[in-house]
A = this chain, B = another copy of it.
Amino acid sequence: MAQKTSPDKIFETALAVFAKYGFRRTRVEDIATELDIATGTLYRYVKNKKDLYEKTVMFGIKRWQTKVFEAIAGIEDVTEQFIVMAKKGYGYLADDVHLRQILITDPSIFPLTPRKVRFPEIDIASINLIKSILKKGVKKKVFCNIDINMTAELFYSFYVMFIIKTYIKSDGHSTQQMFENGLELILNGLLRKA
């Protein structure tokens, strides 16, 4: 038998356990037990509980971001690239219930009021992706001549709002519906009128 466990397996399991109980209520032992390994073994992969949590969150996010990158990789048309980035990104997250639970629950990831953010890399990576698409669109004169930095951040806020909104349970309209509606509006504003 190869190694009894692997980083991927550890973080996948930890994601589920942290999602179920939250950081405070999960014991390191809970995760070890779920993995069927000794507690000490976990410490060969992480420095401490906090580190385990952070690596776990980053694992989830990275996996999500990778999927989005792959989804837009082959696409030539900027407009479509923008749409796919937005819709698939949203869809993949909706599917990953554990990651979503954590993103929604942990106020240090997407704070509702301004304060220190725990994982700035997440925002940077996502905003950069948006920027690169916007830049391409502006250059190709498909999008209006917008302020790329500001628009990227604006769009990212819109995105995050919907991640959190999922939890707030809107009445009447489904969040999915509202998201697509807002997306259309933004895209419309973005496109150069012929």
Contact = CB atoms under 8 A, between A and B. Distances in A.
Interface string A1-44: 00000000000000000000100010000000000000000000
Give the interface size class of chain A. under 10
A16 to B, nearest CB: 16
A25 B25 CA distance: 6
Interface of A: 21, 25
A118 B21 CA distance: 26
Contacts of A21: 25
Q: How many copies does the complex hold?
A: 2
A21 B24 CA distance: 12
A21 B26 CA distance: 11
Contacts of A25: 21, 25
A191 to B, nearest CB: 47
A78 to B, nearest CB: 46
2 contacts: A21-B25, A25-B25
A32 B1 CA distance: 50
A32 to B, nearest CB: 16
- Return the 2 tightest CB-CB contacts between A and B, nearest first: A25-B25, A21-B25
A27 to B, nearest CB: 9
A26 B25 CA distance: 9
Nearest to A21: B25
